[in-house]
Structure 1
Amino acid sequence: MPDVLRTARRVVVMESVNDHTNIGAIFRSAAALGMDAVLLSPDCADPLYRRSVKVSMGAVFSVPYARLDIWPQGLEAVREAGFRLLALTPGEKARSLDEVAPHRMDRVALMLGAEGAGLSRRALAAADEWVRIPMSHGVDSLNVGAAAAVAFYAVATGRPRE
């Protein structure tokens, strides 16, 4: 199990995100919105690349991260650490995030896929549940950086349970 999971409650799992601007934006949103750690598939861009650091406003240095060397089999270690794997996808079978996460969630791993392609079939198959962001005006998806921020807010700072 990656060390970053030991004390984490909410983690980001990125698959094949290879745009340094998106990596930086996701780290910045993760820091701002209460995500505790980031896990990267082997083919994700380097968070320490200059552009990633700049866009993150330094958040790559404050949010712990690790690479999952074996993909997607490494996700099993995340599940065994007690995390529920939620795959963010615009797929028809996905449930709305506001339905799945009406309240703040603990022990959740939010999976984000590459720009354009999204999560691979293998990553989707490894997830416990597929979730989507409800959208209007015929828009079917957002940039991965924007989608990450919306999803982080939903799972990390949603309404507390009464």
Structure 2
Amino acid sequence: GIFFNSTMGTLSMTNTVIDSNAASFGGGLFVVANSTVLNRLHLSRNWAAELGGGLASWGTTTAIECTFDRNEAQSGGAWAVAHAFEGTQMHPAFLHIEKCLLDTNFASYSGGGLWVGVAHRPTLETRNVYFEMRMIDSTVTGNTAAKGSGGGFKIDGGCL
């Protein structure tokens, strides 16, 4: 897959197919960025050992007319959104999802379609996740979380 790491930068992708890749995080696409804009991206048949079969992202992400299908991971079969830390400062996640399809993705644990949480907590006191999501004209269907919860969505350890 693709790995983009620039906490000060922006990733923009348009009309792209990412198919049949594997990694520990973000089998298709792993993004650590200040801002990510995805237009007409198709993530299919990707696999991640841990988070985000199709996509693992940190930071603000906009997805418009994207398709996530037949991706697999431990959590976040289609997409995992994790929060970044600098020391003890946690950066929140903001998602804008418009006209997207999350279909037939699989998580062996939780969040078959979408998982949101903190990948590694620096202290036991850090339990709340600040997360804001806007989903417009999108479809989440046929996703599975085998052992945990949230076939469609799982917000882990925080509040929405």
Shared fold per TM-score greater than 0.5: no
More strand, by proportion: 2
- Report the TM-score when normalising by structure 1: 0.26
- Indicate the structure whose relative CO is greater, using CA pairs within 8 Å and at least 6 residues apart: 1
- Report the TM-score when normalising by structure 2: 0.26
